[in-house]
Structure formats: C-alpha cells, structure tokens
Amino acid sequence: MWDFSWLERRWPGAGYEDWDLVLNQLVERGYNAVRIDAYPHLVAAAPEKMWELLPCWNTQDWGSPAKNRVQVQPALNQFIRKCADRGLRVALSTWFRQDTANTRMQIKSPRDHGRIWSDTLASIEADGLLPHLLYVDLCNEFPLDVWAPFVPKGMLRATPQGTNWMRQTVEAVRQRYPKLDYTFSMTSEWDTWRQQDVSMLDFLELHIWMAQSSDYYKEVGYNYEKFSPEGYEHLVDRAKPVYDSRPAYWQQKLKDRIALAAEWSRFSKHPLITTECWSLVDYKDWPLLEWGWLKELCEIGVRSAAATGRWVAIATSNFCGPQFAGMWRDVDWHKRMTDVIHNAEVHLE
C-alpha cells in the first residue's frame, strides 16, 4: 500500500523522490502489485491542475504532514507505466484527499461517485494503461467519515442506504468499464457482516490488524491522535510491554479475525484481498520504537491468511514502503514473506 505517499512524499528524504529506484526495490523484495491513490475527484475536476492539499495528520508517515501541492496527471499514468515496465500490477484506490476547495464534497450521490471514477479510468485508458490495473477500490475503508465525508452522516454498509450507495456506484462505473474488478475496501462493521449485502462487489478488500481486533489499543492508551504526539508517547511507553505481557493472546486475536474474514469470504462466495494489515494500524520510525515484534505479528498474519486458501492477494503490512526504513530495509524478511504469498494455494468456488 503506497496510498497517496507515491505522489505526495516526493520532497528530499520523503522516500518516493525516485520512482525508478523504489519500484526496483519493490520488485527486489518480491512484490508484484501496489495499491495507490488515484485522486479520482481531482482527476475528474481538472487532471493537470496543481492542487493544494491539506494534511490529514502530522503524526503519521503516510502522505504529507503539512500543506502540499500535487499534479495528478500525467504523474498517475507515468507511475502506472513504470509499474507496467516491471511487471507490477496497480490497484487503484482513493482516500479522497482534501484540497483547499474541498472538491470531494461535490460528490452528492452514488452516480457522482461512479462518474468521477469513470472519468479517471478514461484518462488512464487514453494512454492504453487499463490492462495494467489489478482492480479499483472505489473508496478506502468505506463508509468511514474520515475518508468518505460526502456520504450521509452515520450511514452504514449494513443498511439499505449503504447497500444502495455501493451498488449504484459500482453500476455506474461498471457500465462504462465492465472488464475491471471493483470493490469498496472495509475495516469496520465486523459484527454485522452476515447482514451486509456485498453481492455487487467482485471481492472483499478487508483491512485487518491485531490492534483493531482486540482491546490492545485501549490497554496501550492509543486513540489515533492526528495532530498530537500523545498517542506515540503512549506507544513508546506501552506498545511492546503490553504485547510482551501476553503475546499468545494478542496473536490469537489476530488469527481469530483472519478466520472470521475467511468465513465471510465463504459465506459471500467472494475471494479476499488485504492490503492493510496485520499488526498495529499506526507506527513509524521513532525513538524507542522497535520493528522486530511488528514483523513477528505480520508474519503470523501472512502465514495465517495464506493458509486459508481464501486470499488472492496479501500484503505484508501497511508499512511496506520506503518511508518506513525499519521495515523496508529488511530485504530478506520481505523475500521470505512474498515467497509465502506466492506459494499459497487458493481454494475458491
């Protein structure tokens, strides 16, 4: 998952200044696909405009911690072409990044949602790049307000309103591009999965972490602080000690969530893809924060998911990018994990 970092983190030292270098490193580690933000609302509005973006946080190392400027096209097509040259497939997604005019709020209906994606795919099709796309995730972690503030407040997937939004959006874009696979990625509403109609999706893109599958963050005192260091101060003091106090318990919580996802997959008859996983949701290179135990958890997640036969694509973590040096530099670990992924059997209907 290279999210919006692929385009926003291009200042010196941010990790993505040299796409050729980092894509070669991705291939070296054994990866064959990457998920990125296509900024569809901005492409549909003015693809070659220089957009001014506001930060969604300054505590995390995804994207920019301060005001930034980006031009989505032709950069998007250039990046896809570089991936294609290396045999990498590109999964398109969007976090609906906020620009100074809050252009995302012009989405008033599912039809609007589908239209902006159709316009974005048209700009990619114009350069003959559609065959290099793996899938289209129409909204990251739908319908969380942080990524989809334009949907009716309080809307849930497990309601007719949520179902209709997903169905009508998919129908709108599928009508124009019927050969692509579509989904809405998800990380919430686990308790109502049996009541959710996901029939309009081609697969389930579920984001799974130990920290969200348990009361771990409550014990640590981490509350997803966006513009305060308090959360990371708690991580420094408590993250590893809490994990070390009962590692088998936390590992089992992760395995239980993976098993639940596999059950959802069998119930819905949809294959699974996971691009954000398996340890903590938020982490970074920071004084007194270690990566070893996170890699341990991520390996458990990779192996557990691979063993179910339900996953057709598996990430090693949501920290698999050059800006997370402590995770990225362990080339051998990545190769071991991608070997597990590539050798996993898939058992679908």
Domains and CATH numbers, the chain: 5-343 (3.20.20.80)
> What element of type H or E holds 89?
strand 89-93
Q: Is the peptide bond before 74 cis (omega within 30 degrees of 0)?
A: yes
**Confidence category of residue 192, pLDDT binned at 50, 70, 90:** very high
CB atoms near residue 18 (< 10 Å): 12
261/266 Cα distance (integer angstroms)? 9
> Could you give phi then psi for residue 87, rounded to 5 degrees?
75, 20
Helix, strand and coil in the chain, % to nearest 5:
45, 10, 45
Paired strand residues for 40: none
Interval 291-327: pLDDT, tens: 999 999 999 999 999 999 999 999 999 999 999 999 9
CA distance 77 to 75: 6
Convert the pLDDT of each residue in 217-261 to its tens digit.
999 999 999 999 999 999 999 999 999 999 999 999 999 999 999
Distance between CA atoms of 277 and 314, rounded to whole angstroms?
9
Average pLDDT of span 128-133 = 98
Closest CA to 196 of 159, 169, 148: 159
Closest CA to 281 of 204, 213, 328: 213
Asked if 104 and 150 count as a contact pair (C-beta separation under 8 A), the reply is yes
Tell me: the pLDDT tens digits for 13-57? 999 999 999 999 999 999 999 999 999 999 999 999 999 999 999
**Structure-token match 């339900």, residue found:** 310
pTM recorded for the entire structure:
0.97
Of the candidates 281, 216, 330, the one whose C-alpha atom is nearest the C-alpha of residue 59 is: 281
pLDDT level of residue 349 (50, 70, 90 thresholds): confident
Q: Percentage of the chain surpassing pLDDT 70? A: 100
Work out the average pLDDT over 202-231: 98
What ranges in 31-109 are assigned the alpha helix state H?
40-45, 75-85
